[in-house]
Structure formats: C-alpha cells, structure tokens
A and B are shown apart, each in its own frame.
Chain A
C-alpha cells in the first residue's frame, strides 16, 4: 500500500530526530557555541550596562547566525556520504518531501533549541525581560528562514570536499536582511517602541523562503546527485 505524503514527512522527521539524539555531541555543539560566544562579549567589553544593552541585539543575532551555520553543513552531507541520500531520492516520495522534512527537523534541533535557551543569553546581555517575547519570536522566524537558506546552500555544496566554507559564503550574504530586521526588532523591543514592522518583515521573509526554498534546495540536490 502506498505511503501518503504526510506519513512520509513524519517518518523522515522522526528519522532525523532519532539520528540527532543518537549524537548528543553534535546536537549540543551549536547551542554551547551560541552560549559561549554571547558570554564572551560582556567579558570583553567594559562594565557599562548601557553599552552592553546597546550592543546586545547585534551580538545575539550574529551569534545565532554563526551557530546555525555550524550544523547546516551536515544537513545532507552525512546522508550523501553513506549512500542513504540516493535511497531517499529513490524512495518513491519525491525529493521535495524529503528536503522539507529534513529542513524542518534541522530547525527543530538547531533553531528551536536556540530560541529556548535565548532568555538565558538575554539575561547575560542585560536585555530587559519585557523584550524577551519579541526576541524569541524574531529568533524563531529568523532561524527558520536561515534553515531554508541553508538547505539551498547545503544542497549546492554537498558534493564538495570542503564545502562548509563555501556554504558560509553562500548563506551569510543572504542572511543579512535577517540580521538587520531581527536585531532591529529586538532593539526596538528594548527601547520600548513598536516592533511590528520588523517582525512582519521577518515573517514575510520566512514565508518567502518556506514556499520557494524547498524547490531550489531540491533542484540543487538533484544536480549533486547526478
């Protein structure tokens, strides 16, 4: 009996989550990186709370971008290396579903986890508690968008030996709008002005990548499979 699309989607998500939790070191690395980088800034700067608070959104977002990049490299690479990517491509489900499921699972263990620990980092960077809500929503939207952009980059670089540097060069320029609007939203939340504009723009970028990136990533992956 044929397997439905949703069934296949959840099966691949479960596979990815099972694989992630079997390798807790790889799961925790980006999170620990995020925590350490953001903690280094208060240590390196002078002990002026106002200066720290001014820089906090930028620091938070740059650290989030970089830590998300750390895990992107492995998105398709490990499957390509052991031959399971070919099996997934021939699974009878179409590569689209597989790519979407893998990217969503990647966001769950990287982006969503990062959102959950962000209040801790916010406290270390002297971000007021009132801004935590905006910070978490913007990070959630931003990391999801980044996972989609990363899926395109990872699809393009999966066949290369040292693809991770090229991956950063492809993804980081595309991520600039995220940094601007994400840090902007958090900044406005700290100063108490309206955050709606920046959040809506982030949401628009997220919807744009959610709808178009799967096609681009699938096409990229198909080229590498040949």
Chain B
C-alpha cells in the first residue's frame, strides 16, 4: 500500500541528543482516516518523534514527507495543514481563553469569534471563554488547548499526551473529537502511554529504548 502521496510518511529518521541516539531509523506512514497511537516507556523519544514530524526538530538523517513532498520544501504550507498540541497547553496566562485562541488560530486561518466560541463549547469550556487562562485549572487549560486544535481545522493532528489532566467527561470529549476527525478523513498521531479505547480503527507504534 502506497499512501505517501496523500498522507504522512516518515522515513528512517535518526535523531541524536548529545551522545544519546534517541530515534533509531524510525519509519511510519499514516494515510487519511488513520490514527497512529505512539507509545513506549519514558525517554524513548515519543515527544522527539512528534517534534520531528511537526518540523520543529530536524532529524540528522532521514526525512518527513507530507502529501508526497518533503516538509522542508514548503514548510508554511505544511504548517497550515497541521495542528500540534504539545504536553504544555501553550496558553498565555494573561490572555483570556478566547484571546489565546484568536491570536493563535488567527495566524493560520481567518476565524470569527463565534467560530472560536463554538470550539470552546465543543470541548466543554464555553464558560471559561472570557476568563484569563491563569485562573483555569489544568484540565480546563487542556480543554482550551484542544479547542485550539479543533479550531485550526487542520488535516493532521499531532497530540502529545492529550488525555493528561482530563476528567472522565473530558476524556470522553477528547475521544469523540478524535473519532470524528478520523471519520472525516483526517490524520492523527497521538502520543499516549495508555490505551486509547477508540471505536475508530487505530494503528500502533511502540518505541523501544
């Protein structure tokens, strides 16, 4: 199966961190409507792999291709199709949840405030829209970060431990969003150290130390 033409293809990526050989010839392919669950013990390079795929980190060897083209050839076009959520919620504590979304999503595409409010509503934090991020709980911040990913309307989601700090209802919302994204033909790479338990089909990549 050759899906690299309209999906994501990581080929034999090597990354060293100082003397440590973190990623050793990691290859993966993800096509539309597919979710790849990346797991592995701490320190095996799960986050590093996600940063390589996002383009933040350049691998020493190997490369990443999106829709058949290397991501370094047209990085901004690639970034416009990408939504990355690191393990930090990446919110400015002095800005409200809505402003945080407006300033970040607004760089990717033209959005209206009602659009952003709808995303916050979907992740269950509509009531926090006008509160500064500093007064939100860790779980609420995570939900706002998820609303940002949702509002980007990106084809490729890169999520680093998206279930951290979420309560049962938050996890349910998160799972539903992922299933919906996959059903609509989106792609997702999810780093999580536990089973995802999604109804949608998931593939699995285990990283070893």
Contact = CB atoms under 8 A, between A and B. Distances in A.
B56 A11 contact: no
A83 interface: yes
A84 B107 CA distance: 13
A1 B111 CA distance: 9
A92 B79 contact: yes
Contacts of A11: 103, 106-107
A23 B90 CA distance: 19
Interface string A175-215: 00000000000000000000000000000000000000000
A120 interface: no
Contacts of A83: 86, 88-90
Contacts of B67: none
A89 interface: yes
Is the interface on chain B under 10, 10 to 19, 20 to 34, or 35 or more residues? 20 to 34
Given A92-B76, A92-B80, A84 B58 contact: no
B155 to A, nearest CB: 13
B56 A87 contact: no
Interface residues of A, number: 26
A18 B100 CA distance: 11
A8 B89 CA distance: 22
A92 B55 CA distance: 11
A91 B89 contact: no
Nearest to A11: B106
Nearest to B77: A92
A86 B99 contact: no
A90 B89 contact: no
Nearest to B132: A22
Contacts of B86: 83, 86
9 contacts: A1-B110, A2-B80, A2-B109, A3-B109, A22-B94, A87-B104, A88-B107, A91-B108, A226-B56
Given A84-B92, A93-B107, 10 more contacts: A1-B110, A2-B80, A12-B107, A22-B94, A22-B95, A82-B90, A87-B90, A91-B107, A91-B108, A226-B56
